[in-house]
Amino acid sequence: MKKTVLIILAVMLSCSLLFAQGAEEANTIKIGVAGAHSGDLASYGLPSVNAVELVVANINAAGGIDGKMVEVIVEDDQCKPEIATNTAAKLVGEEVVAVVGHICSGATKAALGIYNESKIVVISPSATSPPLTKSGDYPNFLRTIAPDDAQAVLQVDFALNVLGSKKIAVLHDKGDYGKGLAEFAQAAIEGSSAEVVLFEGVTPGAVDYSAVINKIAQVGADTVIYGGYHPEAAQIIGGMRAQGLDIAFIGGDGVMDATFIAVAGDDAEGVYATAPVDTTSNPIAIQAAAEHQAAYGEDYGAFFLNAYSAALAIVNAIDVANSTDYDAIMAALKSEYVQTAVGNISFDERGDAIGVGFSVYQVNNGTFAQLD
Amino acid sequence: MGFDYFFKLFIGGMTKGSIYALIAIGYTMVYGIIGLINFAHGEVYMIGAFTALIVAGILSALNLPMFAVLLIAVAVAMIFSAGYGFTLEKVAYKPLRNAPRLSALISAIGMSIFLQNYVLLAQTSNFLPFPDMIPDFAFLEPVKQTLRTTQFIILVVTAIVMILLTLLIKFTKIGKAMRATSQDKIMAMLTGVNVNRVISVTFVIGSSIAALGGVLICSHTGRVHFYIGFLVGIKAFVAAVLGGIGSIPGAVLGSFVLGFTESFGAGYISSDYEDVFAFVILILILTFRPDGILGKSTKQKV
Amino acid sequence: MIKDRLLKSLFVSLWLTVLTFPVMVIRVNTIEDTVTWRWGNLLLILIGSYILSLLWNYALERQERGKKVKTNKLSIKIKEIKATFSQSRPMKTSGIAAALLAIFLFPFLTSFYQMSIMNTALMYVMLGLGLNITIGLGGILNLGYIAFFMVGSYSYALLNQAIGLNFWIALPIGGLVALILGIIVAVPVLRLRGDYLAIVTLAFGEIMRIVVENWSSLTGGPSGIRSIPRPAIPGVDLNLIDTAKLVYFIMIVLAALTILITLRLKDSRIGRALIAMREDEIACQSMGINITRVKVIAFALGAVFAGVAGVVFAANTTFINPASFTLWESVLVLCIVVLGGMGSIPGVIFAALVLKLMPEYLRAFSEYRMLVFGAVLVIMMVFKPGGLIPEKRKHYNFTNKDTAEFEEEGV
C-alpha cells in the first residue's frame, strides 16, 4: 500500500514538473477567473466563471482581440487567504493578463500581494471591502461593484430620512464583510439625529437567535440594520416576527437573495436591502441573461452581471490599448468608458467603478423590488 | 420589565438546551459503549433532516394533513438515519475496534467530511428552506410570542426521549446488555452478550434520535444545509462532555447548562462572545469536576 | 468462497442503494418548489457500490491474512532490499546525499506556483512535527493546536504594525509568545485525562480565535491585518519569486531544526518521560516522574514550533484573519500526525506533504476534493491504523549466541 502511494506520488510529482515548464503560447490572451468554486461559498463564485466564459466565447466567435484568441483559466480559492495566494501564484505562472476575482475580500487582500508585484490587472465583481481601493495599497485592483462604505451610508440615509428611525440596532455576523458594513453604518449614524442602541454580532450557524432578538426588543429599537449574509438574516427576521417585533429591517447585498425570501417566507415581506443598482433592464444585461439561460439552462447567480461587466471592461481595454501591457491596459481602463451589463462605466484613480452604485430594495409580494 | 426579559431568555435557553440535548444523547451513548467520539453523528442528524425534506417534497403533491406529513417524514427520516448510523459503524468504526483510539477518531472525522460532501454534491450547496412541519397548537396561541409551538414540541420530545431511554436502559434486557458492554466489553462478551449487536443497536437508537431532532429543529429554524450537522455537533458534543460523557442524563443536563449559559450570556453581556461563555463554562466545570457534572469518576486501576 | 463473496457484496450493494436512495436519486428544491428524480444515480450506486464492496472486502481479507504470515516472496525480497539499504554505508550516504541535493535544487527547477504550494506544505510539515511532540510523544490530544499558530502569526503582524518589528527578530518572538501561551493553557489542562483534556484544548482554541475575532481594536477583528511585509534580506531587493525561494529555504531550515530537536528529545530523559507518560500515566508517576512538568513541556514545546511557523505564515500570505485558524485547521494537523504515524518523523512529513499537496494537484477535481479527502482518511485508518510510516521503536535484537551465554550461566 505504502509503495503504491509512493509510486503514485512520484508519478504525480514528475508530471507536475513537466507541466511546470509548459509551452509558451504567444498567440492567446489569457484571462484568469479566481474565487470560491467549491465549498460552502461556491454559490457566490461559480456565476462569475460562467460570466467570463460567456464573454470570452463571444469575443472568440467574433475573431478574438486583434486576431488573438482569448483563453479562460479558472482557479478555485475557496475564499481562503492562504489558498488564494497559491491560486494567484498559479495564475501568475500561467501568464494571465488580467484576473476577474477574487470573490471574498479576505482572499482578495492576500492574493493582491502577488498580483501587485507581478503587474497583473485584477477586477473583482464582489470584493466590497473599502480598503482595497481606498487605502492605495493596491494600485492594480479595480472593481465593478461599489464599496461597502457607500452601501452603509445609503442604508443609514434611508433609515434616517425615509423611515425616520431614531433608535437603530446594528447587527453583524462577525465576519469580514458583515462587521465591516456594520461598522461603517455605526460610524454614519454617530453624529446624526439617531442613536445606535445596540451593536452586536451573532454567531453564524447558531440554532437560535432569540437572545439577541429579545435584546433588540429590550432596548426599544425601531430599526435593525444587519451586516451579513442571507441565512442568518432569514433566521433573525423569522425570530423577530415570531416574537412580535414588527420593526423595520435593513440588510445589505448579502441579504438580497432569492433564498432569503424562500427561507423567511412571509416574514420576508417588507424587508429592505441595499444592493447594486438594478440593471436588469440594461440591454447588455438582458443579453447576458439570455446567453446564460441558453448555455447553462438556468438563471444566473450572485455577481454574474458584475463579473460579466468586468470581463467586458478588460476585453475592451486590451482592444483599445492594442496591447497586453499592464500600464497600457490600466490607462485604458481608467480613461475609457465601456458599455457593460451594469451600465456605462469607467474606473477612477483608486480603482472604484464610476457609474455603479447601490440602491434600496424592498420585498414586495415575494420578490425584491427596487425603490425610487 | 426585568423579569419579563429574564423569562424570555430562559425560554430561549431551554430551546437551545433541548436542541443540543437531542443530538448530545447520540454522542454520549456511542461514547459510553465504545469510547469513541462519533464525529459523524452531526452528519447523521443533517441527513435525517434532508431525508425529511425530500419526503415532504414528494408528499406535498398529495395534500395530506400537516400532522400526517410530519409523522411520515419523521418515521422515514429516523429509519434512514438509523441505516446510515448502522452502516457508518460497520464501515468506519468496527474495523478499528482494536486499533489505537486516535485512529478511530480520524476515521470518524473522515466519515464526517465524507458525508458532508456526499450530501453537498448529491443535493445542493445552497441553504434550502425547511417547511415548518409542526402544526400550531391552538392552546399555545396566546403565548406564541414567547413560546412557539416548535419550541414547545422540541422541549416535550426531549423530555419524552430522555424518560424512554432511561426506562430502556434500566429495565430492558437490551438496556442491561448496553450497560454491561459499556462497563467492560470483554466481560460482557464472556457472559454471553452479543457485543456487536449491542453496539449496532446503540448506533441505531442514537441516530434515530438525531434524525428526530433534525426534523424538529429544522422545522424551528426553517432551513437546512449540508453544514448544519458540524456546527451543532461541536456544541452538542461539548454539552455531552460537560454533563459527563457516557451518561444520558448527563448529556441532557449538560445541554441545558450550555443552552442557558449561551442565552443569558448573550442576553445580559454580549452576543459577540456567546461561544466564549459556553467554552468558559466548560473549562470551569471540568476544572472542578474533571469527569463532568454527572460523570462517573472512573478510578484508574493500576 | 468466491460465490460467497459475490453474494455478500450483492447484499451490501443493494443495502447501500436503498440507503442512499433519497439523497442520491431525489433532489428537492424548496426554493423553486421542484422535485427532480435522477434514476441514473441509482444505477451508479448499485454498480459502483458492488465493485467497491468487492474491493473493500478483498482488501480487508488480505490485511487479515497479511497479519498472520509474511512468507510471501515479494515481501521477503523487499525486506532484503530495505536491509541492504539501511545497513550498507555507501548506499546510505549516497541516498542521503541525493535527497539533500534534490531538496536544495527544488526551488531552482520548479515554477513559482510549485514553490508556493510547497511552502504551504512545509509550514504544515512543521505544524505536524510540532503537534507530533504533544500527541505523538506525549500522548496529549490537543484539538486547539492551531491557536498557537495564530498567536505566532498575529504577534508578528501586530508588532510589525506597532513598532515595525523585523521578520527575523519576530521568528523567535513568535515562538516565545506561543511558548508562554502554551504554559498558560497547560495549567488548567493538567488535571484532566484523555478526551476531557482534548475537549478543553478545543475550547481554548476556539476561545482564542473568537477573542481575536471580536477584539477589533487590537487585532483588526475579522477584517484581519493586511500588507504584512514579506521576509527580506536587508539591503537585497528580492522579487516575488526570489522571496518564495527565500521562504522555502527558511522553512527547510526550520523543519530541519524541528526534526533535530525532536530526535534529540526522543533520546533524552524528557523524551523518555514523555513516552512513558503516553504509555501509562500511573506507572510513570510511580516511577518518580513529575507528570505535571512533563505535560507542560509536551504542550509548550509543541506550541513553540507552531508559533514560529505562524510568523512565516503571516509573512508569506501577507494577510491574516481569524478565519484561517479555525477548528478545521487544528483537525487537519491532527490528521497529519495520526495519518503519518504518531511519533514517527518521516511519517508526519510524508503525511503533511500528501495532505497539503494533493488538493493542489487535484485542482481539476476540486468539486470532489473534500469527498475524496474524507474517504482517504477512513481508508487509510482502516487499512493502516498505525499510520503510513509507523514509529519504529528502538529494539534490541538478541541472537542465539547471546541467549546461549545466559543459558549456560543458569539464568
Between C312 and C217, name the one with better pLDDT: C312
Contact C113 A92 (CB under 8 A): yes
For residue C154, the number of C-alpha atoms closer than 13 Å in the C-beta half-sphere is: 27
Cell numbers 444585461: residue: A285
The predicted-structure confidence for B234-268, as pLDDT tens digits, reads as follows 899 999 988 888 888 899 999 999 999 999 998 88
C405 falls in which pLDDT band (50, 70, 90)? low
Residues in contact with A92: Cβ distance below 8 Å, sequence separation at least 6, in sequence order: A114, A115, A118, A120, C112, C113, C240
Is A271 a member of any domain?
no
The β-bridge partners of A73 are: A32
Closest Cα in chain C to B274:
C210
Q: What local confidence, expressed as pLDDT, does residue B201 receive?
A: 92
Query: Can you tell me the distance from the alpha carbon of A251 to that of A225, in angstroms, rounded to the nearest whole number?
Result: 6
Tell me the average pLDDT across C280-286: 75
Residue A187 sits in the same domain as residue A248: yes
Helix ranges, C220-326 (H): 240-267, 269-279, 281-286, 291-317
R_g over Cα of chain B: 19
Of A82, A183, A201, the CB nearest to C317: A82
Rank A357-361, C62-66, C102-106 by mean pLDDT and report only the highest: A357-361
The predicted-structure confidence for B128-181, as pLDDT tens digits, reads as follows 888 877 777 777 777 777 788 888 888 999 999 989 998 988 898 888 888 888
Identify the domain containing residue A230 by its residue range.
149-252
Query: Can you tell me the distance from the alpha carbon of B253 to that of B244, in angstroms, rounded to the nearest whole number?
Result: 9
Is A126 a member of any domain?
yes
CA C282 to chain B, closest CA, distance in angstroms equals 7
Cα separation values, A240 from A97, B15, C81, Å: 49, 16, 72
Contact B117 C370 (CB under 8 A): yes
CA A290 to chain C, closest CA, distance in angstroms equals 19
Is C345 a member of any domain?
no
Q: In what order do the strands lie in the sheet with A353-354?
A: A338-340, A343-347, A353-354
CA C404 to chain B, closest CA, distance in angstroms equals 35
Of C26, C339, C387, the CB nearest to B54: C26
Amino acid residing at C396: Y
Of A76, A82, A174, the CB nearest to C120: A82
Bridge-based pairing state of the strands A223-227 and A248-251: parallel
- Average the pLDDT over each of A186-195, B68-77, C154-163, C215-224 and give the range with the smallest value: C215-224
For residue C73, the number of C-alpha atoms closer than 13 Å in the C-beta half-sphere is: 0
CB A218 within 8 A of CB B5: yes
Contact B221 A211 (CB under 8 A): no
Of B5, B145, B223, the CB nearest to A234: B223
C238 falls in which pLDDT band (50, 70, 90)? confident
Q: What local confidence, expressed as pLDDT, does residue A26 receive?
A: 61
The predicted-structure confidence for C86-143, as pLDDT tens digits, reads as follows 666 777 777 778 878 888 887 777 888 888 888 889 999 999 999 988 887 777 888 8
Q: What local confidence, expressed as pLDDT, does residue B115 receive?
A: 92
CA C394 to chain CA centroid, nearest Å: 23
Is A4 a member of any domain?
no
Helix ranges, chain B (H): 2-34, 41-59, 66-88, 101-122, 149-171, 173-183, 185-190, 195-221, 228-243, 248-264, 274-288
CB B210 within 8 A of CB B81: yes
Task: Mutation target for B interface from A172, A210, A246: give the one with most B CBs within 10 A.
Answer: A210
Q: What local confidence, expressed as pLDDT, does residue C87 receive?
A: 64
Residue C17 sits in the same domain as residue C154: no
Question: Quick count: other Cβ atoms within 10 Å of Cβ A187?
Answer: 14
Of B9, B144, B221, the CB nearest to A235: B221
**pLDDT greater than 60 at residue C212:** yes
Task: Mutation target for A interface from C55, C67, C75, C111: give the one with most A CBs within 10 A.
Answer: C111
Residue C13 sits in the same domain as residue C162: no
A276 falls in which pLDDT band (50, 70, 90)? confident
Residue C237 sits in the same domain as residue C138: yes
B33 falls in which pLDDT band (50, 70, 90)? confident
**pLDDT greater than 60 at residue C410:** no
Residue C313 sits in the same domain as residue C245: yes
CA B237 to chain CA centroid, nearest Å: 8
Cα separation values, A250 from A254, A360, A366, Å: 11, 9, 16
Is A154 a member of any domain?
yes
Question: Quick count: other Cβ atoms within 10 Å of Cβ C318?
Answer: 22
Residue A180 sits in the same domain as residue A205: yes
Residue C168 sits in the same domain as residue C297: yes
Tell me the average pLDDT across B47-74: 85
Residue A217 sits in the same domain as residue A334: no
Q: Residue A303, by phi and psi: left (phi above 0), alpha (psi -120 to 50) or beta?
A: left
Stated pTM of the model: 0.86
The predicted-structure confidence for A208-221, as pLDDT tens digits, reads as follows 888 899 889 888 89
Closest Cα in chain A to B113:
A39
Identify the domain containing residue C188 by its residue range.
111-327
Closest Cα in chain C to B239:
C199
Tell me the average pLDDT across B212-237: 88
Contact C323 A80 (CB under 8 A): yes
The tally of domains found in chain C comes to 2
**pLDDT greater than 90 at residue B21:** yes
Rank A79-88, A254-263, C150-159, C222-231 by mean pLDDT and report only the highest: C150-159
Residue A250's SS3 state is strand
Of A17, A117, A180, the CB nearest to C240: A117
Between C64 and B165, name the one with better pLDDT: B165
Q: How many helices (H) and strands (E) does chain A have?
A: 13, 15
Task: Mutation target for B interface from A202, A214, A259: give the one with most B CBs within 10 A.
Answer: A214
Query: Does the CB of A75 have a partner CB in chain C at under 8 Å?
Result: yes
Which triple of cell numbers denotes residue C139?
500522548
CB B266 within 8 A of CB A208: no
Of A210, A214, A263, the CB nearest to B15: A210
Residue A27 sits in the same domain as residue A73: yes
- Average the pLDDT over each of B213-227, C19-33, C74-88, C276-290 and give the range with the smallest value: C74-88
Per-chain mean pLDDT for chain B: 86
Among A253, A351, A310, which Cα is nearest to A48's?
A310
CB B18 within 8 A of CB B213: no
Contact B271 A202 (CB under 8 A): yes
Tell me the average pLDDT across C330-342: 87
CA A269 to chain C, closest CA, distance in angstroms equals 16
Query: Can you tell me the distance from the alpha carbon of C153 to that of C314, in angstroms, rounded to the nearest whole number?
Result: 5
Is A79 a member of any domain?
yes
DSSP state of C409: T
Residue C228 sits in the same domain as residue C301: yes
Supply angle C-alpha B212, B217, B218, rounded to 5.
105
Residue A126 sits in the same domain as residue A186: no
Residue B50's SS3 state is helix
Contact B272 A206 (CB under 8 A): no
Q: What local confidence, expressed as pLDDT, does residue C98 receive?
A: 82
Contact C378 B107 (CB under 8 A): yes
**pLDDT greater than 80 at residue C194:** no
Residue C172 sits in the same domain as residue C294: yes
Main-chain phi, psi angles of B220, to 5 degrees:
-70, -50
Residue A159 sits in the same domain as residue A241: yes
Query: Can you tell me the distance from the alpha carbon of B283 to that of B292, in angstroms, rounded to the nearest whole number?
Result: 10
Per-chain mean pLDDT for chain C: 81
**pLDDT greater than 50 at residue C69:** no
* Maximum pairwise Cα distance, chain B: 65
Percent of chain C whose predicted confidence (pLDDT) is above 90: 14
Contact C28 B99 (CB under 8 A): no
For residue C96, the number of C-alpha atoms closer than 13 Å in the C-beta half-sphere is: 6
Contact C370 A76 (CB under 8 A): no
Of the residues A199, A233, A252, the one at which a domain ends: A252
Residue C33 sits in the same domain as residue C135: no
Residue C46 sits in the same domain as residue C156: no
Of the residues A252, A270, A301, the one at which a domain ends: A252
| Helix or strand (DSSP H, E) at A248 | strand A248-251
Q: How far apart are the first and last CA of chain C?
A: 50
Tell me the average pLDDT across C40-48: 81
**pLDDT greater than 70 at residue B299:** no
Residues in contact with A340: Cβ distance below 8 Å, sequence separation at least 6, in sequence order: A144, A284, A308, A309, A312, A313
Residue C135 sits in the same domain as residue C44: no
Q: Which residues of A touch C78 (CB under 8 A)?
A: 3
The tally of domains found in chain A comes to 2
Is C393 a member of any domain?
no
Q: What local confidence, expressed as pLDDT, does residue B94 receive?
A: 87
Is residue B231 packed enough to be buried (19+ CB in 10 Å), middle (13-18) or exposed (0-12)?
A: middle
Residue C44 sits in the same domain as residue C118: no
Query: Can you tell me the distance from the alpha carbon of A231 to that of B224, in angstroms, rounded to the nearest whole number?
Result: 10
Is C103 a member of any domain?
no
Q: Chains B and C: how many Cβ contacts under 8 Å?
A: 178
Q: String of b and e for A10-48 (b: at least 16 CB within 10 Å)?
A: eeeeeebeeeeeeeeeeeebbbbbbbbbbbbbbbbbbbb
Query: Can you tell me the distance from the alpha carbon of C209 to that of B236, in angstroms, rounded to the nearest whole number?
Result: 20
Tell me the average pLDDT across B201-224: 90
Is A264 a member of any domain?
no
Is A268 a member of any domain?
no
* Maximum pairwise Cα distance, chain C: 88
**pLDDT greater than 70 at residue C263:** yes
Residue A337 sits in the same domain as residue A290: yes
Of the residues C58, C74, C92, the one at which a domain ends: C58
Of the residues C327, C344, C372, the one at which a domain ends: C327
Between C364 and A123, name the one with better pLDDT: A123
Q: What local confidence, expressed as pLDDT, does residue B122 receive?
A: 84
| Helix or strand (DSSP H, E) at A338 | strand A338-340
Residue A24 sits in the same domain as residue A136: yes
Among B36, B81, B109, B234, which Cα is nearest to C374's?
B109
Closest Cα in chain A to C240:
A117
Residue A122 sits in the same domain as residue A174: no
Q: What local confidence, expressed as pLDDT, does residue A1 receive?
A: 43
Residue A314 sits in the same domain as residue A290: yes
Residue A177 sits in the same domain as residue A51: no
CA C32 to chain A, closest CA, distance in angstroms equals 8
Tell me the average pLDDT across A68-85: 88
Q: What local confidence, expressed as pLDDT, does residue C149 receive?
A: 94
The predicted-structure confidence for A152-162, as pLDDT tens digits, reads as follows 999 998 999 88
Main-chain phi, psi angles of C235, to 5 degrees:
95, -20
Of the residues C327, C342, C363, the one at which a domain ends: C327
Residue A176 sits in the same domain as residue A72: no
CATH number of domain containing A301: 3.40.50.2300
Is A266 a member of any domain?
no
Contact B15 A208 (CB under 8 A): yes
Tell me the average pLDDT across C348-370: 81
Contact A43 B126 (CB under 8 A): yes
A24 falls in which pLDDT band (50, 70, 90)? very low
Q: Chains A and B: how many Cβ contacts under 8 Å?
A: 98
